[in-house]
Chain A
Amino acid sequence: MPGNVLLEFSNVVKRYGETTVVDRITFTVAPGEFFTLLGPSGCGKTTTLRLLAGLETPDAGEITLQGRTLAAPARNILVPIDKRNMGMVFQSYAIWPHLTVFENVAFPLRVRGESRATIRKRVLEALDVVGLTGFADRGSTELSGGQQQRVALARAIVYTPALLLLDEPLSNLDVKLREQMREELHALHKRLNLAVVYVTHDQAEALALSDRIAVVNQGKLEQVGSPAEVYEHPHTRFVGDFLGRTIILKGTMRKDAGQSVVDVQGAGRVMVNGDISFGEGADVRILSRPEDISLLPAGELAPNQVAGKVEHVAYMGDHLEYTIEAAGRTLLMPASKRDNYAIGAGVRLVFDPARVTALPQ
């Protein structure tokens, strides 16, 4: 990645009065990369995007695109919105109601003073790309939500922006359409090879689309990495929780012949792979995804196994959900319908050392 940086967003701070909405966020985006800002609503991810577009003014930090500084309050640099050459799709799409589909898409080219022939050619191309061939003369108020979204997308890519900004573009669509648009967005990104900064609170979208994900919480960047990295080795409790269900057990770190093993309060021992910074006797938590844990009937505990007891079973249709008591904690474990245990039965939780993360308590 270094040496091949398109966008550099470094130590940017944005405050509204007393509250710091964006707190020293730093990341880079490579050319052609699909970069996602993921977080709950109110975490500052949309503000980060608006800072990029120039719709908000940072209080500190620097934003550099293609070697050109867009904003640097310390040096009194602030490139106006219309001079940043970005494409943006708004959450509400922001389709101008008084213009036709063609005129909506043509607008960015018109303000750039392109010739009529060029405008016509490129607008029709852009409409082709988003699958709206033949819609050029429609009034923009006659469009469905999905079509409006395509118009917004066409408008954002028609002038080949340096960076495409997408602000929760799928959140206003119904579930089926959302899945379809997700596929199309993926294909479109591959075809155009545009760098994209994508904002969403939907972890499934983020995992499916992104080259890298930045998880944001309360204005701070918690972790940046590939979807597999952040999902399987979350650096913080928040990242683990936000990206899906987690099973968390408390234990004590033991060093055993150069290996790191966590003693789960006498209920079992789980090995932890990778670079472990905890010393002997440290209090830790181990964290794993439920789908990486299998269930076995009670028996002799082998390494990486933890004993537990079934407290409750819920029938969920396509699977079962066990409430299991293990090492003083109550865990929710989805399981296949073939793993059939009665309430009160003893079970063993089998961990996969490659998919266990140790975190401080």
Chain B
Amino acid sequence: MSTITAPPLASSWPRLRGVRVAEVFVLLFFCLVMALPITFMLAGSFNTAAPGQPWSWGVENWVRAFSDPQTLSSLWMSFLFSVVRLIPSLTLSVIVAWLIARTDMPGGNAIEFLCWFAYFVPDFPLTLAWILLLDPHFGFLNTAAKYLPFVDGPIFNPYSFWGIVWVHLGTGGIWLNVMLLTPVFRRLGASLEEAARVSGANTFTTLWRITFPVLSPMILAIAVLSFIKGLESFNTELLLGLPARIYVYGTRIYDYLRQEPPAYGEATALGSVFLLVLFVLAFFYRSYLQGKKKFTVVTGSGYSTLRVKLGKWRYIALGGIVAWFLIMMVLPLVFLIIGSFMRRYGFFNISSPFTLAHWQNLLGDPLFIGSLKNSLVIASTTAILGILIYSIVGYLLASRKLVAPAALEFFCWLPWVVPGILMSLGLLWIFLATPLRGILYGTVWGIALALTINDSPVSTQAFKSGFMQLGPDLEESARVSGASWSYTYLRILLPLVAPIAVTVGMLNFGSALTSISTPVLLYSAESRPLSILLLEYSFTGEIERAAALGLLITGIICVMMLIGRRFGLRLTGPSREEAKPRGAV
């Protein structure tokens, strides 16, 4: 026994030190790119001088911003949009999720796939398509309606409150809700419902007294989530709201910054207020979820063979969902295609109304070539940077050896609360006020950095759960076998999380390609991405060329996501295989 002299700590020390160094490094990075911009924005709202000038303190920005009745009305509009949109969207997604998971409606898998697909269709081209359909002057549905009796004017107007609400019924959020809710319904412990049935309750009573109440915390959580996301919505409001002078807080900030000279002060004051509202909401959301943990645990295993029999109603339900998909997704996309091939959109009666000219113009436009290059550089940089940074962060969070895991978690969730346009506003200050100005201000690298920051919540979570599922055993057994940490990382850990890395890369590439709210404040003529070009085309009335570009972006995204799905690109829950019924016991 006396021969053993090595201090027991020595073996674990180098690796622990590595984790410490990495933790400090990552925290510093997040402070620099997240905490600092937000602080700058909050502080900047009290700065009455222009960016780059010496600071002078005062409350003039706040006074000016809030003495403008438009400011309060834009905050109110954001709130109103989010609430009004939430009600039909949540009702629809709860019904659809229930139909897929708990009834004998045919085609559940196919509908889940459609939702998954629809989620990735970018909202900007869709909004454009609805303009093609509903515009008071050339919208197809308005033109067609003229042939109806008693109609002598446009009956639809997309540039309105209800127009914006309508378009949102077909964009990302609602499809995501279905995808989030379906596994919740599916995982509900089958015996809870069975117990009610044996106790003498019929199908309907069971649904109202047991199923929905048990799931209410999860449904409420998803409602709050989509409410917050609704507040942050920007693209549709920009395209449809601006012509009608309907402002939400995001488009109002955009408007402030497009003034000459840009009203940075007012923009930051408005941003600060909104940030406060979001933080309060997010705080209640998190503490509410934590309080309900016991509740969600109860809904455990057990696949229900007890599906509600809808009889002939199951075909009606299926038909309803298919119709909804056709109207909200297929119809606009079809008109986007038609629009991109029409000499003058809406004029079907002129000789040879169809043409390839817009596609030729688009592909021959030097602006397009430049933007495409910019977009590809930005999106690839975002994807690679995201994989590099968030795989390390995810590994650190999963390792459970951190000094301040809560701080790291907080930073990772921060962009979830802070809308892209506010994060960009804060970053703009950093870019302008630091020596990095030359590299980051108005360049593709600055935009890529901002987009990477935006991607942190989902990316970190994906890597973290990936590493958690691996567990420490695989890594430790490699280390015990004599492999160094770096060898272990390269040969064991990285190959095992490779599918997650591909997934994260694809998602981030896609969102970088379609984001408008993040680059809109950061781009310059040299770094203009495709999404901004689309915005410019549609604002300058080149609607046919915008349609072509929108289609092109949609096409790229769809192809990428379909490839990604082969690598197991899923957003929620267990795969279909795991959800199959277990052998009868």
Contact = CB atoms under 8 A, between A and B. Distances in A.
A53 interface: yes
A82 B197 contact: yes
B192 interface: yes
B194 A47 contact: no
A242 interface: no
A94 interface: yes
A111 B302 CA distance: 25
Contacts of A16: 583-584
Interface stretch (A83-91, A233-241, A322-330): A83-91
A97 B215 CA distance: 10
Given A82-B199, A87-B198, 8 more contacts: A54-B198, A55-B194, A55-B305, A80-B202, A83-B200, A90-B195, A94-B195, A152-B195
A165 B195 CA distance: 11
Top 8 A-B pairs, shortest CB-CB distance: A94-B191, A108-B199, A94-B195, A81-B197, A97-B298, A90-B191, A88-B198, A111-B201
Q: Which of B199, B209, B294 neighbours the largest number of chain A CB atoms within 10 Å of its CB?
A: B199
B295 A107 contact: no
Interface string B573-585: 0000000000111
A96 B191 CA distance: 10
Contacts of A107: 196, 199, 201, 209
A174 B202 CA distance: 35
Q: Is the interface of B mostly helix, strand, loop or mixed?
A: helix
B469 to A, nearest CB: 25
A352 B214 CA distance: 59
A349 B196 CA distance: 56
Interface in B283-324: 294-295, 298-300, 302, 305-306
A46 B305 contact: no
Given A96-B210, A98-B214, A98-B295, A88 B584 contact: no
B524 interface: no
A325 B191 CA distance: 50
B585 A46 contact: yes
A250 interface: no
Given A56-B305, A82-B200, A96 B192 contact: yes
A155 B202 CA distance: 17
Interface residues of A, number: 40
Nearest to A46: B585
Contacts of B585: 41-42, 46-47
A21 interface: yes
Interface of A: 14, 16, 21, 41-42, 44, 46-47, 53-56, 80-88, 90-99, 107-108, 111-112, 141, 152, 155, 159, 165
B524 to A, nearest CB: 55
Contact of B194 (A85, A94, A108, A159): A94
A165 B302 CA distance: 19
A105 to B, nearest CB: 10
Contacts of A90: 191, 194-195
A97 B195 CA distance: 13
B216 interface: yes
B200 A112 contact: yes
A318 to B, nearest CB: 35
A341 to B, nearest CB: 43
A294 B305 CA distance: 52
5 contacts: A55-B194, A55-B197, A94-B191, A94-B192, A95-B298
Contact of B200 (A46, A47, A85): A85
A94 B197 CA distance: 12
Nearest to B299: A97
B295 A141 contact: yes
B185 to A, nearest CB: 16
A107 B205 CA distance: 11
A165 B198 CA distance: 10
Contact of B300 (A56, A82, A92, A159): A92
B136 interface: no
A85 B585 CA distance: 24
B200 A141 contact: no
B108 interface: no
B189 interface: yes
Contacts of A108: 199-201
Contacts of B295: 97-98, 141
A359 B205 CA distance: 54
Contact of B294 (A14, A44, A56, A141): A141
Nearest to A21: B584
A94 to B, nearest CB: 4
A47 B584 CA distance: 7
Contacts of B200: 82-83, 85, 108, 111-112, 159
A155 B199 contact: yes
Nearest to A168: B585
Contacts of B583: 16, 42
Interface in B540-585: 583-585
B294 A111 contact: no
Contacts of A46: 584-585
Contacts of B243: none
A81 B198 contact: yes
B305 A53 contact: no
Contacts of A91: 191
A347 B3 CA distance: 53
Contacts of B202: 80, 82, 111
Given A42-B585, A88-B195, A155-B199, A97 B294 contact: yes
B398 to A, nearest CB: 29
Contacts of B294: 97, 141
